[in-house]
Amino acid sequence: MNKTININLASTFFHIDESAYNLLQSYLNKLEKAFKNSQGKEEILRDIEVRIAELFQERKKHPDYVINEKDINEVIDILGQAEDFEVEESQETSKGQTHTASKKLFRDPDDRYTGGVASGLGYYFGIDTIWIRILWLIFGFFSLGTITFIYIILWILIPEAVTTNDKLRMKGEPVNIATIEKKIKEEFDEVSSKIKDIDYQEVKSSLKKNPRFSSDF
C-alpha cells in the first residue's frame, strides 16, 4: 500500500506517491543548499520548479496519473545532481569569503612545557618561543619566584587554543576552509605519527618482556 499525495508545483496539480514525494523533497533541499550562495537563489529555484512541473506534465499520460519514483529519477537525470551545480557555483563564491581574523593571545597546547604560555606569547609577538623561555629563566633566576606567580596568573587568564579556529587565530592565519583543512591535516598527521611511535615502543617493550619471542625474530 502506498499513500498518494497531491502537490501544487508552479501552479499545476500533480498526484505523486509517497516515496516519490520524499525523493523530490530531498532533491529540492539539496538544490537549495547548492545555490545558497548564488545571487538570485529564489528565482533559480522557482525556475527549476517550473521546469520540473513541465517534465512531470510530459510524463502525465492521463489526468489520474500518479508520479512515481522512476519519474523523479528521470527528471533528476535531466536536471542534474545538486553536486554538479556546486562545482560551477563555488569558484565565484569562494573568493572574498576569507575574513582575516585579528591575532589573539592563546596558550598553545601542542607546544608546551607547563601551560603553553611561552609559545602563545611567541606567536602573539611573532618571536621564537625559545627566547621567551630563556627570558623566563633569566627573570626567574633574579626575581626569586615572582615570575612563577606571574606565570600562573597568565596561565589562568590566557585561554587555551582548543579549536582549530583558535589555533589559526593564535598564529594570525586567516580563517577559511583552506587553512582549516591544512590545520586539521597537520593535526591528523601528528596524531597518526604518535600512534605509530606508541605501537613501536609497545612492541619493543613486549619483546623485552618476552625474550622467548624476540629470539624468534
Partner 1 sequence: MKIENTTAQMRKGILEFCILSLISGRDLYTSEILEALKNRKMLVVEGTIYPLLTRLKNASLLQYRWEESTSGPPRKYYSITAEGEAFLGELQTVWKELNQAVKMIISKN
Residue 197 exposed, middle or buried by CB count within 10 Å (0-12, 13-18, 19+): exposed
Under rule CB under 8 A, residue 14 binds partner 1: no
Under rule CB under 8 A, residue 168 binds partner 1: no
CB 133 within 8 A of CB 144: no
Part in contact with partner 1 (CB under 8 A); list of ranges 40-48, 66-74, 102-110, 120-128: 40-48
Q: Which of 26, 29, 33, 40 binds partner 1 (CB under 8 A)?
A: 40
Name the minimum Å distance from CB 24 to partner 1.
14
Nearer Cβ to partner 1 (31/158): 31
Q: Which of 5, 7, 50, 154 binds partner 1 (CB under 8 A)?
A: 50
Q: Which of 19, 26, 39, 143 binds partner 1 (CB under 8 A)?
A: 39
Nearer Cβ to partner 1 (52/168): 52
Q: Which of 89, 103, 164, 172 binds partner 1 (CB under 8 A)?
A: 89
Nearer Cβ to partner 1 (11/102): 11
Nearer Cβ to partner 1 (10/180): 10
Which positions touch partner 1 (CB under 8 A)?
9-12, 31, 35, 38-40, 43-44, 47-48, 50-51, 53-54, 57, 78-81, 84-85, 87-89, 91
